[in-house]
Structure 1
């Protein structure tokens, strides 16, 4: 078996000049349209993100409106004052329950214990003693000046 030759195709190049120009035009179009397409896709995703943020903000506004409407009700205000501020109506005896077993954070730490013993907590000074000591310390830092008599 020999090689079959088709007449007229033996000397023709694989790509003609027309095909080369067509490929160059197509590649140029792809290169020209790539950036705007990428920008379009990025802008669409940004629009979707902004719409989601706007919807979230709308939901927050609606929640705040409902909250404001609740605070307009005098019974809700009374209930909140009783719960949060421990208010009581005249004639009622308010009670606050205290946990009989203190939590770990309420127990005195080892830094509060007396030196040398790890069991006894230091005596806590009243607030006015601490305040007066801080005034004395501030006074000791500056020299005393006598005020001239005003008479």
Structure 2
């Protein structure tokens, strides 16, 4: 609860006994007119019993100049931080892409190292020589299957059956349906 001040604004007024800074349920605000005795005048400087006339305090404007400057400052700061923030986010995405590329390259390197380790094994080299170059070990009899050239020539001369055109397929299905209904 705020303290009430005198009309001159010099300090708090006297409080009623029992108010003690707490709001009371029985307390009501008097909004009626203030009685000012016109016949009785007090000499200057004396504080008689006459009540001072109430004046309305000016209402604060909805948007003060300080608030306008603060809003403008916030807008300017927001605009000033958007470009660096955008650059930061772009750089973060580039870093993530580069890290993914590095991880893929490391996986490729690991696979190449495994392949290299295989080629260093003499048994793997023998197996590859047998498969790729048809090498045989001493004492083994090589078997080489030679394809029949006549069968290959006949397969090359036989043309593949041309697929039916779509309208031929459609017409044959219509004829098949017609044949089923006439039975």
TM over 0.5: yes
What is the Cα deviation at residue 78 of structure 1? Answer: 0.4
Count of residues in correspondence between the two structures: 102
Deviations 1:96-127 (A, max 9, x none): 45789x79xx932679xxxxxxxxxxxxxxxx
Aligned equivalent of 1:135: none
With 29-38 and 90-99 compared, the bigger mean Cα shift is at 90-99
Note the residue ranges of structure 1 that are not aligned, 5 or more in a row.
1-6, 112-151
Please, what TM-score do these two structures have when normalized by structure 1? 0.57
Cα distance in 2 between the residues matched to 1:18 and 1:31: 20
1:32 aligns with 2:80: yes
What is the Cα deviation at residue 63 of structure 1? Answer: 1.3
Q: What is the alpha-carbon root mean square deviation over aligned residues?
A: 3.1
Cα distance in 2 between the residues matched to 1:8 and 1:92: 117
With 85-94 and 44-53 compared, the bigger mean Cα shift is at 85-94
Aligned equivalent of 2:140: 92
Cα distance in 1 between the residues matched to 2:157 and 2:74: 78
What is the Cα deviation at residue 41 of structure 1? Answer: 0.8
Aligned equivalent of 2:94: 46
Q: Answer 1 or 2: higher relative contact order, Cα 8 Å, separation at least 6.
A: 2
What is the Cα deviation at residue 42 of structure 1? Answer: 0.8
1:75 aligns with 2:106: no
Cα distance in 1 between the residues matched to 2:69 and 2:146: 90
Note the residue ranges of structure 2 that are not aligned, 5 or more in a row.
1-55, 160-183
Equivalent of 1:16 in 60, 64, 73:
64
Task: Decide which structure has the larger Cα Rg and report it.
Answer: 2
